[in-house]
Copies of this chain bind each other. A is one copy, B any other.
C-alpha cells in the first residue's frame, strides 16, 4: 500500500515541469553564509555564537530583516523560535516546514545549522524568482539553542521541561533567561507547542557530521533517521593503595580493570560491526595521584545505532566481559543505564521524495543514519520528517574548520526544493 503510494508520488514528481526552470543560486547562498559568519566570527574563521548570546541575538535581528525582505510573514513563538510563513494557494492545508538553527557551539564553524537555514532561505528566494505559489503554506523555521540541547524544537512538541528552563547554556544564560533575552516569553513557553494538524511535514537540511559523503564524493545523504543513544555509568571499585609498598599481586587496581574494559568495549562494538558505534569518552580516576594505586574509576559508555538490537547485543557482551575483568582484578564493576534516547526514524515517503529528487537532478546519493542529534528528531515525534545531508569536508563539525562548498550547498538546496514540490502535490 505504502509502496504503491510512493510509486504514484514518484510518477507525479517525474511529470513535474523541469526543475531547471527554477535554479538555486550559489552566489546568493554563499553571500548569506558569509553574512551569518560575521555575527560572532572568530579569528580562526569560525563562529562562536552560542544560543542566547549577544551574537545570536544580533544574527537573529539581521535574519528577521532578510526574511521580511523575502515577503514572508514572521512571528516568534513563546520559546523564541522564528516562524516565517509563505502563503499557499490553499490556506486550509497544513504547512510544509523546513529550516534548522543558527546558534553554534563555542568556537564552532559556519555551516552546522547555518547551512539548513540558508538553504531554506534559498527555497523562498527561488519561489519568489519563479513567481510560484505552492498549494500548502510554507514555513521557514529557525529553532533556538539547538546546540545546548534541542530546546527550541522541544518547546514546539511540548517537551521543554522546568528542568530544561533552568539549564544554564553556553551563553551563560539559563534557557528561561535566554528565551526572554531573545524576546520570547519563558513563562508562557507551553504556548509554543503546536498541534499535529498544523504541519504536513518538516525537512531539515544539514551538513553531515562524519566523513561519509565527503570521503566517497557523494552529493546528497538521504537520512534514514537519527540514531538512538544509550548511555551507561560504569564504576570500577578497587582499593586505593600505596604505589611503592603494595606488591603487584596484592593490588585491586581500578584503573587497570577500567582499561581492560575500555579495550573490551571497543572490541565488542567493532566485532558486532554494522553502523553501531560505542565510545568511552569520559573517565575519571580517584584519587588520580601518581603514587597511589587507583581505588576507583568512573566512566561513561555510550552506544548509538538506528536499531536497538545491536546495542542490546553489545551491552550484554560488555557485561559478560566486565564480570570476567572484575573477577580477574578483584574489583567490583557496576554498569548502570543512565540515559536512553530512542532512535528517530525519518518518514519513508519523505526519504523516497529526497531520493527521487536527487536522482532526477542527477546527483549521487547515499541512504545513511545521522549519528548526531538534530531538531529533526524532536519534530519526527509529531510530524512526518525528513533530513537531507550535504557533504562536510573530512566530516569535521563543531570546529572553525567546518566547510561545505557553495556548489554542494546549492545541490542540497535544489534537492530540498524538489522534495518540497513533491510534498506539495
B260–A263 CB distance below 8 A: yes
Q: Does residue A290 face the partner (Cβ distance < 8 Å to B)?
A: yes
Smallest beta-carbon distance A310→chain B, Å: 12
Q: Does residue A130 face the partner (Cβ distance < 8 Å to B)?
A: no
Q: A406 vs B143: C-alpha distance in the bound complex, in angstroms? A: 73
A137 neighbours in B (Cβ, 8 Å): none
A280–B255 CB distance below 8 A: yes
Between A231, A250, A280, the greatest number of chain B beta carbons within 10 A of the residue's beta carbon is seen for A280
A281–B277 CB distance below 8 A: no
Give the contacting residue for A263; candidates B212, B245, B256; CB below 8 A. B256
Give the contacting residue for A210; candidates B211, B245, B269; CB below 8 A. B245
A281–B270 CB distance below 8 A: no
Which of A31-39, A54-62, A291-299 touches B? A291-299
Between A245, A270, A284, the greatest number of chain B beta carbons within 10 A of the residue's beta carbon is seen for A245
Q: A281 vs B210: C-alpha distance in the bound complex, in angstroms? A: 34
Q: Does residue A405 face the partner (Cβ distance < 8 Å to B)?
A: no
Q: Does residue A204 face the partner (Cβ distance < 8 Å to B)?
A: no
Smallest beta-carbon distance A331→chain B, Å: 13
Q: A210-B246, A373-B244 are in contact. Are A285 and B288 (CB under 8 A)?
A: no
Q: Does residue A197 face the partner (Cβ distance < 8 Å to B)?
A: no
Q: A401 vs B126: C-alpha distance in the bound complex, in angstroms? A: 77
B282–A243 CB distance below 8 A: no
B245–A371 CB distance below 8 A: yes
Q: A290 vs B275: C-alpha distance in the bound complex, in angstroms? A: 19
For the complex, count residues of A whose C-beta is within 8 A of B: 56
A282–B288 CB distance below 8 A: yes
Give the contacting residue for A395; candidates B231, B246, B395, B397; CB below 8 A. B246
Q: Does residue A133 face the partner (Cβ distance < 8 Å to B)?
A: no
A245–B397 CB distance below 8 A: yes
A277–B372 CB distance below 8 A: no
Smallest beta-carbon distance A128→chain B, Å: 35
Q: A266 vs B257: C-alpha distance in the bound complex, in angstroms? A: 11
Q: A212 vs B284: C-alpha distance in the bound complex, in angstroms? A: 30
A211 neighbours in B (Cβ, 8 Å): 246-247, 250
- A197-240: CB near B (< 8 Å → 1, else 0) gives 00000000000111110000000000000010101000000000
Q: Does residue A398 face the partner (Cβ distance < 8 Å to B)?
A: yes
A227–B244 CB distance below 8 A: yes
Q: Does residue A135 face the partner (Cβ distance < 8 Å to B)?
A: no
Give the contacting residue for A209; candidates B242, B278, B285, B372; CB below 8 A. B242
Interface of chain A residues 323 through 371 with chain B (CB within 8 A): 370-371
A262 neighbours in B (Cβ, 8 Å): 255-256, 259
Q: A260-B263, A292-B281 are in contact. Are A395 and B210 (CB under 8 A)?
A: no
Beyond A255-B281, A256-B263, A284-B288, list 9 extra A-B contacts (CB 8 Å): A210-B245, A210-B246, A211-B247, A212-B247, A243-B302, A248-B276, A256-B266, A281-B285, A283-B285
Interface residues of A (CB under 8 A from B): 208-212, 227, 229, 231, 242-250, 253, 255-256, 258-260, 262-263, 266, 269-270, 275-285, 288-294, 300, 302, 304, 370-373, 395, 397-398
18 residue pairs from A and B, CB less than 8 Å apart: A208-B245, A210-B245, A210-B250, A211-B247, A211-B250, A245-B370, A246-B395, A256-B262, A279-B293, A281-B285, A281-B289, A281-B291, A281-B293, A282-B289, A282-B290, A283-B285, A283-B288, A291-B302
